[in-house]
């Protein structure tokens, strides 16, 4: 299979557009899952402190035989680690678990507006990047108003905003804002937790091009320019999710899939309600 296309972030760092997510993959399964993903061709692995599997991700990366600079690794600062000093300590702990010297991408996992500390947390990320410990820094689950404040009060524009995004919740306004400010949008829960597999619009497109509904949805993300991180622990599905790079959806296909979510349907928490 061909390698994933890459996107150049606003700091010049290149990120593989199609990555592998490990949310809710148990520690005792994640090493094998990541190893399979790397064998298939993925070169972008997305983890977090919350997932409690950074150790296994790090082992898989280190033992893969693939040069470290060819694998893009993301982790995240969890909600109870907000604050400048707390973030620096949490980063050190994550890096110890991963067993890596330099991280490719560090995200603030949620803005946690109730704590009102995401600006000082961001300043810690800026320091880590300036010190060369992190190549790129970004955010996750930030609404437009959170981004407005970050842009007004700090000096580094996030490279990524990772948010819940799928055809039921296409996030048009947020994607437009991100694009206007040089921020790449990344999709978590890109398959809407399986809620789209029986959708007739997606099913008709899949039947026409001879692919699965899952593959059509991932191809939709790629066509929109999203970074996308589907997850599976089943080797055949890990391979299926990566075997999408030759799919060419028409503009009408993309519009039809985007139109599924006109009312919008959030499956996860609203960022304003968490923390």
DSSP annotation string for 187-230: EESTTGGGTTTT-HHHHHHHHHHT--HHHHHHHHHHHHT-EE--
The one catalytic residue among 23, 51, 84, 118? 51
DSSP annotation string for 13-27: -EEESB-EE-TT--H
> In Å, how far are 41, 81, 124, 250 from 156, measured between CA atoms?
32, 20, 11, 36
42 is catalytic: no
Which residues are CB-neighbours of 7 under 8 A, at least 6 positions away?
Answer: 14, 15, 17, 184, 225, 227
Buried b (16+ CB within 10 A) or exposed e, 29-56: ebbebbbbbbebbbbbbbbbbbbebbbb
Q: Residue 113: helix, strand or coil by DSSP?
A: coil
The answer to whether 27 and 15 are in contact (CB under 8 A) is: no
Strand 6-8 with 14-16, pairing: antiparallel
Which residues are designated catalytic?
51
């Amino acid at each position: 299979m061909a390698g994933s296309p890459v996107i150049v972030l606003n700091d010049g760092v290149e990120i593989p557009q199609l990555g592998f997510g490990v949310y809710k993959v148990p520690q005792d399964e994640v090493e094998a899952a990541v190893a399979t993903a790397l064998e298939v061709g993925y070169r972008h692995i997305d983890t977090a402190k919350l997932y409690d599997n950074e150790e296994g991700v790090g082992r898989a990366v280190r033992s893969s035989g693939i040069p470290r600079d060819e694998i893009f690794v993301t982790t995240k600062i969890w909600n109870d680690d907000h604050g400048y000093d707390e973030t620096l300590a949490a980063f050190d702990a994550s890096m110890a678990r991963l067993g890596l010297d330099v991280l490719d991408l560090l995200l603030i996992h949620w803005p946690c507006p109730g704590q009102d500390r995401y600006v000082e947390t961001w300043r810690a990320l800026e320091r880590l990047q300036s010190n060369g410990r992190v190549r790129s820094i970004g955010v996750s689950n930030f609404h437009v108003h959170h981004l407005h404040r970050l842009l007004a009060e700090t000096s580094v524009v996030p490279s990524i905003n990772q948010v819940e995004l799928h055809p039921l919740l296409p996030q048009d306004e947020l994607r437009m804002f991100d694009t206007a400010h040089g921020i790449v949008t990344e999709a978590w829960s890109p398959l809407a937790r399986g809620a789209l597999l029986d959708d007739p619009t997606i099913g008709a497109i899949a039947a026409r091009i001879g692919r699965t509904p899952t593959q059509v949805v991932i191809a939709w993300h790629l066509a929109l320019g999203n970074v996308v991180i589907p997850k599976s622990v089943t080797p055949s599905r890990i391979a299926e999710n990566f075997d999408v790079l030759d799919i060419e959806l028409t503009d009408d296909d993309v519009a039809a899939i985007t139109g599924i979510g006109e009312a919008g349907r959030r499956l996860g928490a609203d960022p304003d309600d968490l923390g």
